[in-house]
């Protein structure tokens, strides 16, 4: 903005002043040239009159008239010396020391002009005059104009300096402070708007989750009744059905608790029991296509601290991801669930031998920008597991290689 104001000043103030100065210079040059021409014309007329007078005086041989004419011409503003010559001999001169009757000669400041006297072949008049025939008024006017231009330039520069320091800079400082304040206000408004949007999104999701949780409670009750009355199911099938309906009911209650802003209490997780329940459900779900191998480290206590419903949901989603990793491959579908201790962590790992995850996708997982490793997936399993483990103070590890499979590790702190 400062450059714009300076550009405006140069265009609307400095440029007109320069034009005025150029006009003054042009007028002064015109005036001086006019004076030079006019003064030269008057001088030539005076010299011509002098020569004619000298001619008459010579005819009459009147020395008094000759001296009078010479003294009269010598008083002219542009005549510094006069000499009447007969050949190369001075007949009469003024001032007395001027004896130049030779060829016309000039100096740096003055010029010598020779005029012949009609009727007298050998006689001539020699005059010493300045190169520029300017009178005192012209010289004074030129000097005054030059001084005026210099003074105008100094005043202009001084005015601009004052304007810059006392007007422009304070305005720029005030504008900068004002704009910074407005920018801060806009940023605050933007942050509040984003917070409002997030709040509205959270309310919408909470309302939807509450409705879903409420709507599935009645069908779950019906399933429990049917499972209890059915006579065609084996005891194992009844147990699995009860576990499945119980897990869905727990999920429903967990959703309701979250929407009501009730914090889930962190309970001790019996990992062996919870993992066993999830694996038995998955064995029924994928009975004809997937083999599950569950291996536990012997004589080890596997327990953690957290929400059992959330843990089973995360583990179920991760096992689903492991099964889906075999899609499009001809390999035997086997999922390994291993439990062991590593440093101060109880580790539950889910391993598949499917397609694997690319390095690019792994880098996104490291910076928590992972969406899904499978086509049309939404990545909720991995992202929810990461969030769940982070809330517990644990870790989630991912190792993978294209064509060889993926291993997801859930590391529960034991100390």
What pairs with residue 413 in β-bridges? 345
Please state the separation of Cα 139 from the chain's center in Å.
58
- Count of residues in the chain: 415
Residue 181 has a pLDDT of: 84
Question: What is the assigned CATH class of domain 264-413?
Answer: alpha beta
Strands in 89-94's sheet, in edge-to-edge order, are 89-94, 81-86, 120-130, 110-117
- Give the C-alpha separation, 298 to 181, whole Å: 66
Distance in angstroms (rounded) separating the CA atoms of residues 28 and 266: 99
Q: What is the model's pTM?
A: 0.43
- The H or E element that residue 171 is part of is helix 169-229
Q: Domain locations in the chain?
A: 2-134, 264-413
Q: 404: closest CA among 331, 338, 319, 328? A: 331
Which pLDDT does position 353 carry in this prediction? 93
For residue 259, what are its two tokens? 């929407």
Q: What is the CA radius of gyration of the chain?
A: 57
Give the other-Cβ count within 10 Å of 18's Cβ.
Answer: 13
Strands of 334-342's sheet in order across = 291-296, 334-342, 345-352, 405-413, 395-401
Write down the H helix ranges in 230-270. Answer: 235-259
| Rounded Cα–Cα distance for residues 72 and 53 (Å) | 11
Q: What is the pLDDT of residue 25?
A: 79
Nearest Cα to 405, choosing from 366, 350, 345? 350
Per-10-residue mean pLDDT, the chain, length 415: 59 71 81 83 88 89 86 81 84 75 64 85 84 67 75 76 76 80 86 84 70 60 63 69 70 64 61 88 83 83 76 89 88 91 88 90 68 46 83 89 92 81
2-134 and 264-413: identical CATH topology: no
DSSP one-letter code for 262: P
CATH 1.20.1260 fits 2-134, yes or no: no
């Amino acid at each position: 903005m400062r450059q714009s104001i300076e550009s405006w000043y140069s265009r609307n103030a400095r440029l007109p002043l320069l034009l005025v100065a150029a006009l003054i210079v042009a007028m002064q040059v015109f005036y001086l040239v006019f004076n030079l021409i006019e003064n030269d014309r008057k001088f030539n007329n005076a010299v011509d009159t002098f020569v004619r007078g000298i001619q008459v005086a010579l005819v009459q041989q009147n020395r008094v008239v000759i001296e009078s004419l010479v003294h009269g011409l010598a008083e002219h503003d542009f005549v510094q010396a006069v000499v009447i010559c007969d050949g190369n001999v001075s007949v009469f001169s003024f001032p007395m020391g001027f004896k130049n009757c030779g060829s016309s000669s000039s100096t740096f400041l003055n010029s010598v002009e020779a005029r012949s006297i009609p009727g007298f072949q050998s006689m001539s008049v020699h005059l010493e005059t300045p190169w520029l025939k300017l009178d005192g008024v012209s010289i004074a006017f030129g000097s005054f104009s030059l001084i005026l231009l210099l003074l105008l330039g100094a005043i202009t520069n001084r005015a601009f300096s004052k304007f810059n320091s006392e007007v422009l800079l304070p305005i720029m400082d005030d504008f900068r402070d004002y704009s910074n304040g407005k920018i801060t206000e806009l940023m605050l408004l933007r942050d509040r708007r984003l917070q409002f949007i997030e709040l509205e999104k959270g309310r919408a999701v909470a309302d939807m989750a509450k409705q879903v949780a409420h709507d599935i409670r009645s069908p779950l009750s019906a399933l429990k009744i049917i499972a209890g009355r059915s006579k065609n199911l084996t005891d194992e099938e009844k147990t699995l059905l009860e576990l499945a309906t119980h897990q869905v009911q727990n999920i429903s209650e967990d959703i309701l608790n979250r929407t009501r802003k009730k914090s889930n209490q962190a309970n001790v997780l019996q990992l062996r029991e919870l993992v066993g329940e999830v694996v038995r459900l998955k064995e029924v779900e994928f009975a004809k296509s997937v083999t599950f191998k569950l291996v536990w480290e012997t004589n080890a206590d596997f327990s953690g601290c957290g929400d059992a419903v959330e843990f089973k949901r995360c583990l179920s989603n991760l096992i689903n991801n492991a099964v889906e990793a075999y899609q499009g491959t001809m390999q035997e579908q086997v999922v390994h669930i291993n439990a062991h201790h590593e440093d101060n962590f109880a580790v539950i790992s889910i391993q598949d031998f499917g397609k694997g995850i690319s390095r690019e996708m792994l880098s996104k997982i490291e910076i928590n920008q992972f969406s899904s490793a499978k086509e049309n997936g939404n990545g909720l399993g991995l992202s929810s597991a990461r969030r769940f483990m982070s809330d517990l103070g644990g870790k989630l590890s991912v190792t993978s290689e294209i064509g060889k499979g993926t291993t997801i590790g859930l590391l529960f702190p034991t100390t």
